[in-house]
Amino acid sequence: MPGNTFGTSFKITTWGESHGKGVGVIIDGCPPRIPLDEAVIQPMMDRRKPGGSSIASTSRKEPDKAIIMSGVFEGMTTGTPIMIMLHNKDADSGAYKPYADLFRPGHGDITYQAKYGIRDWRGGGRASARETAARVAAGAVARAILDREKISVSAYTTELGGIKAKKRDLDTVDQNMFCCPDADAAEEMVRRVTDVKKKGDSLGGIVEILARGVPRGLGEPVFDKLDAELAKGLMSIGAVKGVEIGAGFEAAGKLGSENNDPITPEGFSTNNAGGILAGISNGDDIVMRVAVKPIPSIAIEQKTIDRHGNPATISTKGRHDISAIPRINVVCEAMVCIVLADHLLRLTVDG
């Protein structure tokens, strides 16, 4: 059954495999007359690009040049489907040949094989993180819609390898390798990553996403609540194992009198709700966090089985990130942009 479409009014459908001809996305539902060209999209693509400044990234070089194939005329969207394509370039399938018959632990190899009875083993095929490049391209278009409403979305690292950011100094996010809002923690993270890299292991962390300027009224109860759709969008990113909003799991330990956000004529005094009440945005900042698991491909030898059920060991020597962070941050940002643009466009004249 189909499962590659997301959204209702701003509807994206992605295609492509890690080592096929390319990946891409159709955006259906983008309003007409929005200025759009490749230059609007590329900066977000570049943030997802491997081989960037971060020592945590693979050395695979994907230029990730977004090409708009349709839906734009003379620099403006026309209201028709926008197809954005990214050719695959530096795909080294040979490196995956030894694993063609092995199920890599922590990857979808075993489940894809079980579900489909066939599997493009080159670089993880459809289950590769390469698929998120198409999401980021769509996210850039979603952001163009949010920009008109002065809604901003940013994602940053609040934990990496057990090192927690103790501050939310957003100005420093762009100034360190791990996009951390705490410069001191960022330095510790460098040490932690360097250490783990040497050991051939990998790390997870936590990314926080902050949306500002979201008007009241976004979200469609009772199932398409704004937080429910954000949770789905974020959890659909391969490495994400948990999602929380506002106080999140900490809310579980609070008293009602602590957790309720008092309402004053000037707005909410606190934001434990994370900007959403009963599934509808309340005008406050939307704050979410996702748990990112460590990259499963590691140089350390692991137990597994082959396609026929025989025991085997595997040690992944390919070009892999040590952590999905910080490359995953822009993917989270993209998904939040997509959900917000979708719900903005789901608003009818009457609410």
Which range binds a second copy by CB under 8 A, 45-53, 136-144, 170-178, 276-284?
A: 276-284
State the minimum distance, in angstroms, from the CB of residue 203 to a second copy.
Answer: 7
Q: Name the CA dihedral angle for 253, 257, 263, 264, rounded to a multiple of 10 degrees.
A: -130
Q: Tell me which residues in 34-63 interact with a second copy (CB under 8 A).
A: none
26, 44, 179, 185: residue in contact with a second copy (rule CB under 8 A): 26
When the beta carbons of 173 and 226 are compared against a second copy, the nearer one is 226
User: CA 339, CA 11: separation in Å to the nearest integer?
Assistant: 10
222 binds a second copy (CB under 8 A): yes
118 binds a second copy (CB under 8 A): yes
Q: Name the CA dihedral angle for 336, 338, 343, 346, rounded to a multiple of 10 degrees.
A: -170
Which range binds a second copy by CB under 8 A, 35-43, 58-66, 168-176, 268-276?
A: 268-276
User: CA 21, CA 149: separation in Å to the nearest integer?
Assistant: 36
Which range binds a second copy by CB under 8 A, 50-58, 170-178, 180-188, 228-236?
A: 228-236
47, 49, 225, 327: residue in contact with a second copy (rule CB under 8 A): 225
Q: Tell me which residues in 147-186 interact with a second copy (CB under 8 A).
A: 159, 161-162
245 binds a second copy (CB under 8 A): yes
Q: Peptide bond preceding 222: is omega within 30 degrees of 0, i.e. cis?
A: yes
Long-range CB contact pairs, 77-81, < 8 A, 24+ = 77/30, 77/31, 77/32, 77/33, 77/34, 77/36, 78/32, 79/30, 79/31, 79/32, 81/26, 81/27, 81/28
100 binds a second copy (CB under 8 A): no
168, 212, 307, 346: residue in contact with a second copy (rule CB under 8 A): 346
39, 94, 198, 311: residue in contact with a second copy (rule CB under 8 A): 311
57, 58, 176, 281: residue in contact with a second copy (rule CB under 8 A): 281
44, 141, 228, 331: residue in contact with a second copy (rule CB under 8 A): 228
When the beta carbons of 53 and 310 are compared against a second copy, the nearer one is 310
State the minimum distance, in angstroms, from the CB of residue 199 to a second copy.
Answer: 8
Residue with tokens 């983008």: 30
Note whether 311 and 303 are within 8 A (CB).
yes
Closest CA to 322 of 235, 209, 243, 205: 205
When the beta carbons of 187 and 220 are compared against a second copy, the nearer one is 220
Pairing of strands 76-77, 240-245: unpaired
271 binds a second copy (CB under 8 A): no
Q: How many CB atoms lie within 10 A of CB 33?
A: 9
